[in-house]
Amino acid sequence: MEIRPAKRLNHFETGIFASLNEVREGLEKEGRKVYNLFIGTPDFTPPQHVIDALTESAKDPVNWRYSLRESDELLEAVCSYYKDRFGVTLTPDIITAVNGSQEGMGHLGMAICNKDDVVLLPDPGYPAFEAGAYFGEADIQYYPIVKEYGFMPRLDLLPEDLLKRTRYIVLSYPSNPVGAAAPREVYEEVIRYAKKYNFIVINDNAYSDIIFDGREGFSFLSLDGAMEVGAEFFSLSKSFNVTGARISFLIGNKQIIDAMKLLRSQYDFGMFTPIQKAAIAALKGPRECVKEQCAEYQCRRDALCGGLRKLGWDIPDSDGTMFVWAPLPCGYTDSKLFCEELAKKAGVIATPGISFGPRGEGYVRFALVLPPEKLNEAVNAIKESNILK
């Protein structure tokens, strides 16, 4: 019997990361030195108190049962974190856990979209945004985030008819992949549009703790009117290096949260209790480690961007995130081709900009997942490869 996957899956291609991983394995088999700069998985470790909280909790067999919902202790920890960190007052009823922002974003469209509602997504942008809108049968439209406009959204350039048909817009700053941070005014402007055209704003706040040169990360929910029009994904993945534990929350407008809770109640039973305990420890614990880590990311950015600029590759500094968004050098125009050559000639594996959307073509994304010394080595390998000549 031939079993074909559902037609809806024809929409997706095998992930770019799987094929980049094959490239890495191939080079390693040849005994080549490889600099793995394609996946945004932090190489830092979770704080010890977070690991301890999880392992302690896992020793109690009761904690292996269905958790059914997030504990009051966890929801209160999120509330007090938001108060201290972002100055935002929350109540537990406007928070739901998701199994990572990626999963939450992937299902969001099913909770708040009807067929053919417009969903506005950044191009280039994080691929899970698109998957979520697609599963919600939305009419997916893109707003460009390009150098010309400082990588900021320009809703004033979109047709009014499109704005009228929009159900939700996704914003995400500091931005993966472009590395730009948005000032509050950019969000305030989007909130004004949301009120005028009656659409929802979803902010993906994955990198508020990785932001450079004295900028301050903030929550979208701290802005006037935000709670009325939208919600925010708040992930612990990158701040606390717990990407595998899948700890994230959707927080904001109660109607959005209720819709998401109802959907989630059909396919999930709530976060594993030991992971809830780890999340509580992270949220209530010291935050110096998060700041130190941010400073380390900044040193890495300086090593990579500064190093490549010295070689004549004109790469702007990222404002935040663990990524660098570099225009292709030396007349290259095809980002996949460039990444193949970069891997073959220099052993540096980076992600082609086209994987983040059509407007990502002409760029390559580097992840800052190696210490500065290793990034210096990678810069040197690029120099020796003569790819910039």
C-beta of 54: minimal distance to ligand PLP in Å? Answer: 16
Using the rule CB under 6 A, which residue among 34, 112, 206, 382 binds ligand PLP? 206
Among 106, 104, 46, 95, which Cα is nearest to 243's? 46
Return the amino acid letter for 146: V
Residue 167 CA to its chain's centroid (Å): 21
45-84 binders of ligand PLP (CB under 6 A): none
For ligand PLP, the closer CB: 127 or 347: 127
Classified as helix, coil or strand, 351 is strand
Between 179 and 274, name the residue whose CB sits nearer to ligand PLP: 179
Binding of residue 319 to ligand PLP (CB under 6 A): no
Sheet holding 166-171, edge to edge: 95-98, 248-252, 230-235, 200-204, 166-171, 118-123, 139-144
Give CA torsion, residues 237, 241, 247, 248, to 10 deg: -30
Contact 170, 125 (CB under 8 A): yes
Choose between 248 and 351: whose C-beta lies nearer to ligand PLP.
Answer: 248
C-alpha span between 19 and 279 (Å, rounded): 33
The residue count for binding ligand PLP (CB under 6 A) is 13
**Out of 57, 166, 237, 276, the residue judged to bind ligand PLP by CB under 6 A:** 237
> 40 vs 274, which CB is nearer to ligand PLP?
40
Give yes or no for residue 36 binding ligand PLP (CB under 6 A).
no
Using CA atoms, how far apart are residues 240 and 292, in angstroms rounded to an integer? 12
Separation CA 167–CA 162 (nearest Å): 10
169 binds ligand PLP (CB under 6 A): no
- The residue of the chain with the least Cβ separation from ligand PLP equals 100
Taking the C-alpha atoms of residue 268 and residue 168, their distance in angstroms, rounded to an integer, is: 24
Q: Does 335 bind ligand PLP (CB under 6 A)?
A: no
Shortest spacing between CB 124 and ligand PLP, in angstroms: 11
For ligand PLP, the binding residues (CB under 6 A) are 40, 100-102, 126, 172, 176, 204, 206, 235, 237, 243, 248
